[in-house]
Amino acid sequence: NKTEQVKKALQYIFAKHLMYPYAPMKNNLRCVQWRESVLHTQTVEGVFRKHMQAVVDPLFKTFAEGRPFLTPEEWFRMLDCMEIFPCSGTELDSDAQQMNAWDRVWAWQASAMTQVEELAHVRSLHLLFVEFLEALACLVGLLHSRKFCENHLEDENGERWDYGMPHASPVSVFCLEPAVTDTDGFAELLDGFFAGPIPAKALSG
């Protein structure tokens, strides 16, 4: 019947043209899977708990200025203090600065809960503490994947991820560093970040 034919046609379209092995959908799906398979694990949670009192909570409180959320301006100010993905006042060309700004915004958007209404309410401009935790994790993953991409131009299937652009989008490269998609590997990266000089620089500034 027609219903069955339509069903098969849609399955074929999704299987052959939207899902694996095509890079755009594959990269987006990997980011979604990373949240469940890596971020929401006891191993990574243990790293957050380890550094909660000394680093994570003070960071949030310092830049939220007593409120239960961060605004985009405060998020950018924190990253300016950390000197992460600089997008102004640097020797980078305009394309690199724009990509750094995109990286900053992507980490925010990927972590913030989707809001049905974004015009009449300001909730979409508020990053709550639990979302802030994920945004920090996204930053760490993206930092290491960007470094990985400096020496690797193709994925495991030999497909380039820059699509002919000067810089690859954050969602295209986020899961390319093998350690980012490995629970123990990412926990080690996150632990090193919290124990390192970058968060301390923001807290002291």
pLDDT tens by residue, 127-159: 999 999 999 999 999 999 999 988 877 766 666
* pLDDT single digits (tens) 59-91: 999 999 889 999 999 999 999 999 999 987 767
Measure Cα distances from 83 to 62, 76, 169 in Å.
16, 10, 20
Residue 114: which pLDDT band, with cuts at 50, 70 and 90?
low
Residues 106 and 171: their CA atoms lie apart, in Å, by 8
Residues 145 and 130: their CA atoms lie apart, in Å, by 23
Residue 48: which pLDDT band, with cuts at 50, 70 and 90?
very high
Specify whether the CB–CB gap between 96 and 167 falls below 8 A: yes
* CA nearest neighbour of 51 among 148, 164, 192, 174: 192
46 has a pLDDT exceeding 60:
yes
Phi-psi sector, 85: left (phi>0), alpha (psi -120 to 50), beta: left
Mean pLDDT of 166-185: 90
Phi-psi sector, 154: left (phi>0), alpha (psi -120 to 50), beta: beta
